[in-house]
Structure 1
Amino acid sequence: MSNQDRTLDHYQELMTINATSHILRAARQIGLFDQLAEGQKTLEMLSEGLKIPEAKILMLIQSLTAVGIIERYQEDYALSSTARLLCQYDADLGDSTWNGLVEALQSDPDATDGETSDSSATSDSSATLDSNETAALESAITPELQTRFDAIAATQWVHTPAAMQVCEILNLGAGTTDDEASTTQSDSNNSESSATESEPIELLDFGCGSAVWSCAMAFREPAMRVTAIDNQAALEAATATATSIGLTDRFETRVGDVPGTTLPEATYDIVVIAQRLHAFGPSQIKEILDTVTTSLKPGGRLIVIDSFRGPHQPMLAESLEMLRMQVQTNEGEVPELPVAEQRMKDAGYEDVQFTFIAASRIGLGMMIGKKR
């Protein structure tokens, strides 16, 4: 294929992407998705319901069928599984986020910094006056940021393959080696050894969303017990996740949020912060890291699963996540790896390690540090 052919193919691809976005919006605006959400319908039924001629509806349906949004069953048409997900979780096709992109790009960083500083001062004052965590929380979690967290909680199940890969990276549930098995067999009558082996692993999922990441870990590691902290709506989703895979006896919840929640000291073996830390500014990230460091036992591990900026050229999904962060947060950004690593070290962690999660659809990575 010549360079000219590749250029023409790329041009056509971009134009097709743009056209597809328009037909999706047209279908939503005229009510086609609403009609099909009620159940399968014929072309005649759709034409009558939408008050649009059959020939015109058919042209739109044929395009939507070609991109996998509508499926045909003899004379009936129905929404595909993908379309049902769109209707359930992203009915506006993400427009509520992306319509704010231009404003986010053109916003004055200095003005934002000033507003953030005032907000932080208000939070500190409220905490001093009445020690009310809610007051601090209100200054940290803006409506836009809460919308982001709600969307993550609602759709976090899509990261299940990535969560299982994380378990493999962490070697959870891998069992014992041959040497360990031999030692265990020879000491089978040693009750003290048995007690040690059965000692639970306490994991805190701080800002859990629907708890896909922590539930995958507990599913793979029978000795693990999970404490999940988030708002009430997220905890309902998290509880449903835990129940669906039989973790009810090893899963408990607590209403709170990140930042703004006080944690018990030296209680947890592992703390997981997934898809939340980098939505905040540097001062709030430091506050969160200091809080979880205090809650970890000596030698405990902090696992941060989030977007990171590596040395490679970012793929489209990674670039879109960077832009989405700009629109949905005041100070959040995808950090470069050295910056994220230094934050961990400054918070009291050593042996900091990082890996990109290959199974992630949006280019998430995992950074792990051990408390000194």
Structure 2
Amino acid sequence: MPRRATRVEDVANRDVLDDIAFGFYKAAVLKAAVELEIFTRIAEGHRTVPSLTRITSASERGTRILLDALCFIGMLTRDRFEYKLAPTAESFLVKGKPTYFGDAALGNFAWDARGQLSKTVRTGKPISPIATSDAFEPIWAGGAASHLADWQKNLADLNALWDKLAIAPDVKSLRVLDVACGSGIFSFALAKRLPVARITALDRAMILPYAKHLAEALGISSQVAFVVGDVLNLELKSEAFDLVLFGNVTQYLSPEQNIGALRKAFESLAPNGRIVIAAPIADEDHKGPGEVPMIGVETLLFSSDGDIYTFVEYRGMLETAGFSEVTTYKDDWGLISARRIEKPKA
């Protein structure tokens, strides 16, 4: 869900600063609960302060204060002396569930990186593992896991995107490559709409089990092949696909890395084949849209040379890679399409 920018008030208002600082407290409360496995322990039946104190080896006073704060931020409910999981905590914060998202949302190195943003601003280089590194793989896996709990909601949003892209419903076949597929929800939504679609879901080994799980939940497993791969080391057959998808990855790559990956995608497409990029796209003045400027901070923290690119910059990269008919679709989240058009021979 896109978030709105804080409204600029006509007069000085310290409440704005208090609200920002209070957000840090809420994140700290959630991080402490994840580290102490509070949600997992409550799911196991440890629902009182004394019981949780024993199982976590924490102080009674600290445990009580933390639990009440978790109630305030909506992660727990309380019935006299017993604490219970709110639906969000039950879905995403209990270790062992396939939808567990706690470590990905508030992992130590992500927390440390955000706390040292000023250092990254000074140097222009991340102090933590970058998004394309092996060390970041568990974070991507956690993100894929989170889609397993709310895919029905995401499916409706993605169907609206596919309506915008106007993939013909009467196609006889459609060979799709989903690069850095994550949970696979983007391409799987298309497969659900088009039984003739055959998806090649490509991502790192730790992430693909979540994509397999989602394909089973959607009833499209027979339409999907899973391939271990990496966006920076694509090995693709010539003219093997009709559609190639890049979702939520290009902002972590440099222009040169993007052009290299896009060129390989171009070569893998059949004539008149299409590429679709889903990524945050900056306005030309970089003021927006929506939360895009805040997403830019993530690219600064977790990539060496990535950026929130404008449409003009994406068009340049795509055309350099060989694509034509580059089109953007106005949305809070960016969507760009282009084609491999065979040029007439001289």
Structure 2, unpaired ranges of 5+: 1-8, 95-99, 342-346
Moved more, 215-224 or 325-334: 325-334
Name the SS of the counterpart of 2:283 in structure 1: coil
The residue number in structure 2 matching 1:370 is: 339
Aligned equivalent of 1:264, options 230, 237, 241: 237
Structure 1, unpaired ranges of 5+: 113-139, 176-196, 359-363
Coordinate RMSD, CA, aligned: 3.1
The residue number in structure 2 matching 1:166 is: 161
Question: CA distance change for structure 1 residues 200 and 58 in 2, over 3 Å: closer, same or farther?
Answer: same
The residue number in structure 2 matching 1:89 is: 101
Distance 1:250 1:315 in 2: 35
Q: How does 1:105-124 map to 2 (within 5 A)?
A: 105-107=121-123
Aligned residues: 315
Distance 2:182 2:36 in 1: 33
Moved more, 16-25 or 216-225: 16-25
Question: CA distance change for structure 1 residues 45 and 51 in 2, over 3 Å: closer, same or farther?
Answer: same
Name the SS of the counterpart of 1:233 in structure 2: coil
Distance 2:172 2:335 in 1: 26
The residue number in structure 2 matching 1:298 is: 271
- The share of aligned pairs that are identical, in percent, is 21
Task: Please tell me whether the aligned partners of residues 243 and 273 of structure 2 are also in contact (alpha carbons under 8 angstroms).
Answer: yes
Which has the larger share of helix? Answer: 1
Name the SS of the counterpart of 1:310 in structure 2: coil
Aligned equivalent of 2:193, options 220, 227, 232: 220
Question: CA distance change for structure 1 residues 26 and 141 in 2, over 3 Å: closer, same or farther?
Answer: closer
The residue number in structure 2 matching 1:345 is: 319
Moved more, 159-168 or 320-329: 159-168
Moved more, 292-301 or 50-59: 50-59
1:29-84 deviation line (CA, Å, top 9, x unaligned): 55534532423513343344456676664443222212101122454212223234
Distance 2:309 2:292 in 1: 12
The residue number in structure 2 matching 1:142 is: 133
Distance 1:106 1:26 in 2: 29
Q: Tell which structure's C-alpha radius of gyration is larger.
A: 1
Question: How far is 1:217 from its partner?
Answer: 0.9
TM-score by length of 1: 0.73
Runs of 4+ in 1 over 6 A off after TM superposition: 3-6
Task: Please tell me whether the aligned partners of residues 165 and 357 of structure 1 are also in contact (alpha carbons under 8 angstroms).
Answer: no
Task: Please tell me whether the aligned partners of residues 172 and 196 of structure 2 are also in contact (alpha carbons under 8 angstroms).
Answer: yes
The residue number in structure 2 matching 1:314 is: 288
1:151-174 deviation line (CA, Å, top 9, x unaligned): 44333556544423212222357x
1:290-333 deviation line (CA, Å, top 9, x unaligned): 10101111111100111221246337743332112222222222
Distance 1:351 1:344 in 2: 10
1:235-280 deviation line (CA, Å, top 9, x unaligned): 2222222121111221112222212222111121111111122322
The residue number in structure 2 matching 1:233 is: 206
Aligned equivalent of 2:305, options 325, 331, 337: 331
Task: Please tell me whether the aligned partners of residues 98 and 324 of structure 1 are also in contact (alpha carbons under 8 angstroms).
Answer: no
Question: How far is 1:355 from its partner?
Answer: 2.3
Question: CA distance change for structure 1 residues 298 and 253 in 2, over 3 Å: closer, same or farther?
Answer: same
